[in-house]
Amino acid sequence: MADFKHKDIIALRDLTKEEIERLLTTAESMREINNRDIKKVPTLRGKTIINLFYEASTRTRTSFEIAGKRLSADTVNITPSSSSATKGETLADTALNLLAMKPDIIVMRHAVSGSHYFLSKKLPSCSIINAGDGTHEHPSQGLLDMLTMKDKFGRLDNLKVAIIGDITHSRVARSNIQGLTKMGSQVFLAGPPTMMPPGAELLGNVTVCCTMKEAIQDADVVMMLRIQQERQGKTLMPNAREYSRYFGLNPENIKLAKPDAMVMHPGPINRGVEMSSYVVDGDQSHVLKQVENGVAVRMAMLYHVCGGELE
Amino acid sequence: MAAEKTVILDGAGVRRALTRISHEILERNKGLANVVLIGIRSGGAYLAAEIGDSLAVIEGEKAAVGAVDITLYRDDISGQIPHLPVGKTEIPFSLEGKKVILVDDVLFTGRTIRAAMDALMDHGRPDSIQLAVLIDRGHRELPIRADFVGRNVPTSLKENVQVIFDSENKPVEVILEK
């Protein structure tokens, strides 16, 4: 297997199939640490990780923080309410100021798509990990979703994965599309026409379906997306009840998928909108497994970007 | 780059060495009570399995066998090498109060053993750790010594000692490359 030689992890689009496999294999090994009494290894001792979150997050930020701490790095969290961004500082200035404190890795979430590429150019000496940028990518979520699928099926090729919901605004969907199609799985998308980007079929090797039924028919994985009210205007759907009726996952339509199909959701879940509580808490739900795998995947990402001898 | 290869231990030789190590382990620990074998990935883990089998034949009871991957405990990991793949550490039992036989294929600088001991300590507090190696090639950089040695092989720093395993992870031979 080829060595992982990237300084940054910004998008799964930038990684090869082999590099994704390497990250997942490392994550599988990292999992053992999370089940010990002493959940810590000395690997990143003396490294400083700054978690720079311009958007709200509980799961991802906590997960990156725990991942850093389990590898013995020092982690510092900066959130919008406590940062200078509210006082008008630009991203470039914030970045240069942080750099003066010599961090080794900056994990950033930002509302502007592609902002990490800008940051990476500004900070050539520091590794940048994307924890979600606008509507572009969310690579750690894509990787943890794939790890959860690999746990269940033992492979990532020839799976039928249905992704349902607000595709336009979903960076989770984009990362999963990039990753899964590279691994050789088929992705089917469905959502209200107002939430389907024009030219969605150009996102990669995907099939755009007109109805949810078509997409989840015989699916191995049904991935439900959150309705992102903070990113949408008010006009994308008439109301939550109507959305739920046509694009919500419930005990009835889930029967269209394969009997052992897994149900996933990146969280946070709007119960009763994209998924009924019955499904969220049902046997097929892997939502908490996803969160558990998140820590291991992020440990793998932090570990691999810290390697030296870059080309 | 045609390196000169010499076989320093053939298949039968490896088997005899492992059998003798097994007897020595039994003698030193007066049986297998509380003895566990932990191999260092990957060569040491294969050898730990072999020693485990051999102990079972001699003593008629089985010792628990685990494997430890030391990549995350290396002392040269910080920014000098592209990050190596991380193998799985599999120790599905508690080490509290156990006599751990740590198994490696080739003992060289001792840094791997240091890393492995740190890893084991993070899994609990064993009663003792004893070190079994198939080859001791010298050149220690840390105060570490093996309790059970298959063969002492004086080497120069330019040489390379390798234990060769077949596709079923059984040891085939030990070679010295110049």
For B24-177, strand residue ranges (E) read 35-40, 64-68, 99-107, 128-136, 148-152, 160-165, 171-177
> Is there a domain that residue A276 lies in?
yes
Place of tokens 């010792």: B63
pLDDT, tens only, A36-46:
888 999 999 99
Answer yes or no: are the C-beta atoms of A142 and A15 closer than 8 Å: no
Same domain, A106 and A154: no
CATH number of the domain that B56 lies in?
A: 3.40.50.2020
Q: Which residues between 37 and 56 in chain A have a beta carbon less than 8 angstroms from any beta carbon of chain B?
A: 37-38, 40-43, 45-47
Same domain, A145 and A235: yes
pLDDT, tens only, A99-132:
888 999 999 999 999 999 999 999 988 999 999 9
Mutate to test the interface with B, among A38, A41, A306 (most CBs of B within 10 A): A41
Q: Is A191 annotated as a binding residue?
A: no
> Is there a domain that residue B84 lies in?
yes
Same domain, A257 and A152: yes
Look up residue A277 and give its DSSP letter: H
Query: What's the number of domains chain B is made of?
Result: 1
Weakest-pLDDT range from A171-180, A209-218, A232-241, B77-86? B77-86
Same domain, A166 and A264: yes
Q: Which residues of A touch B68 (CB under 8 A)?
A: none
Residue A234's pLDDT is what?
Answer: 66
Place of tokens 């490294």: A47
Is the CB of A309 less than 8 angstroms away from the CB of B80?
yes
Residue A163 has pLDDT above 50, yes or no: yes
Smallest Cα distance from B59 to chain A, Å: 32
Query: What's the number of domains chain A is made of?
Result: 2
* Percentage of chain B exceeding pLDDT 70: 95
* Percentage of chain A exceeding pLDDT 70: 94
> Is there a domain that residue B161 lies in?
no
Same domain, A51 and A163: no
What is the C-alpha separation between A211 and A192, in angstroms, rounded? 8
Residue B56 has pLDDT above 80, yes or no: yes
Is the CB of B122 less than 8 angstroms away from the CB of A25?
no
Span B100-113, average pLDDT: 96
> Is there a domain that residue A191 lies in?
yes
Same domain, A131 and A266: no
Tokens of A52: 């720079």
> Is there a domain that residue A20 lies in?
yes
Same domain, A272 and A157: yes
CA A77 to chain centre: 19
Residue A98's pLDDT is what?
Answer: 87
> Is there a domain that residue B171 lies in?
no
> Is there a domain that residue A186 lies in?
yes
> Is there a domain that residue A4 lies in?
no
Q: B116: domain range? A: 12-151
Q: Is A160 annotated as a binding residue?
A: no
Q: Are strands B160-165 and A262-264 parallel, antiparallel or unpaired?
A: unpaired
Mutate to test the interface with A, among B42, B68, B70, B72 (most CBs of A within 10 A): B72
Q: What is the mean pLDDT of chain A?
A: 91
Pick from A183, A161, A160, A159: nearest CA to A172: A161
Nearest to B79 among A33, A42, A308 (CB): A308
Interface predicted TM-score of the whole assembly (ipTM), two decimals: 0.83
Q: Which residues of B touch A102 (CB under 8 A)?
A: none
> Is there a domain that residue B6 lies in?
no
Same domain, A112 and A211: no
Span A133-142, average pLDDT: 95
Same domain, A181 and A243: yes
Q: Is A45 annotated as a binding residue?
A: no
Q: A220: domain range? A: 139-286
Same domain, A103 and A201: no
> Is there a domain that residue A153 lies in?
yes
> Is there a domain that residue B164 lies in?
no
CATH number of the domain that A168 lies in?
A: 3.40.50.1370
Please report, as a single letter, which amino acid is at residue B149: V
Same domain, A236 and A300: no
Tokens of B4: 């000169």
Residue A2's pLDDT is what?
Answer: 58
> Is there a domain that residue B135 lies in?
yes
Answer yes or no: are the C-beta atoms of A200 and A189 closer than 8 Å: yes
Mutate to test the interface with B, among A1, A6, A28, A29 (most CBs of B within 10 A): A29
Look up residue A236 and give its DSSP letter: S
Answer yes or no: are the C-beta atoms of A304 and A19 closer than 8 Å: no
Chain B: residue whose CA lies nearest to A310: B82
> Is there a domain that residue B49 lies in?
yes
Residue A83 has pLDDT above 70, yes or no: no
> Is there a domain that residue A274 lies in?
yes
Residue A260's pLDDT is what?
Answer: 95
> Is there a domain that residue B162 lies in?
no
Residue B78 has pLDDT above 70, yes or no: no
Chain B: residue whose CA lies nearest to A27: B86
Residue A204's pLDDT is what?
Answer: 76
Residue B173 has pLDDT above 90, yes or no: yes
Chain B: residue whose CA lies nearest to A127: B79
Answer yes or no: are the C-beta atoms of B115 and B87 closer than 8 Å: no
Nearest to A28 among B77, B88, B122 (CB): B88
Q: Is A105 at the interface with chain B, CB within 8 A?
A: no
> Is there a domain that residue A2 lies in?
no
Place of tokens 């003792």: B128
Span A186-205, average pLDDT: 88
Q: Which residues of B touch A29 (CB under 8 A)?
A: 69, 86-89
Same domain, A143 and A281: yes
Span B80-107, average pLDDT: 88
